[in-house]
Amino acid sequence: MTKPSKSVFNIAGVFRALGYSMAGLKAALVHERAFRQEAVLFLILAPLGAWLGGSWIEKTLLVAVLFVVLIVELLNSAIETVVDRIGTEQNELSGRAKDIGSAAVFLSITLVILVWSWILIPPLL
C-alpha cells in the first residue's frame, strides 16, 4: 500500500511564513532606525523612479535597486541582532561581522546612486 503524497503547496504553511515575514518587517520598522529611514526614502523614490524611467526596464531598474537596499538592510540588521544576542562585549569577529554587513548596505546604496545616475543623467545632457 502506498502512502498518499503530500501536496507541494501547503496554503497553511504559506500563510504561516507570511506571518513570520510581516513580524520581521514590523520588528525592523520598530527597532532599526536605518531601516525606517530607508523605507521612507523607498516610499518617496519608488513612485518617482516609476515616473521618471523612460522604458519599463528603466522603471523596473530604478525601483528594483531600492528594494535591494531594503533587503540588504534587513540582512544586516539580522546579523547585528544575532551578534548582539551572543554578547555585547568587544570582539574582533563580532565587529568584523557588523562591519561586513555595513559594507553590504553601503554597496547597495552605491548601486542605487549609480543606476539612478546612469538612467536619469544622460537624457538631461
Which residues have CB under 8 Å from 65's CB, separation 6+? 108, 111, 112, 115, 116
Catalytic hit among 38, 58, 73, 80: 73
The overall longest dimension of the chain from CA atoms, in Å, is 73
In sequence order, what DSSP letters do the residues of 15-47 get, joined into one string?
HHHHHHHHHHHHHHHHH-HHHHHHHHHHHHHHH
92 classed as catalytic: no
Residues annotated as catalytic are 73
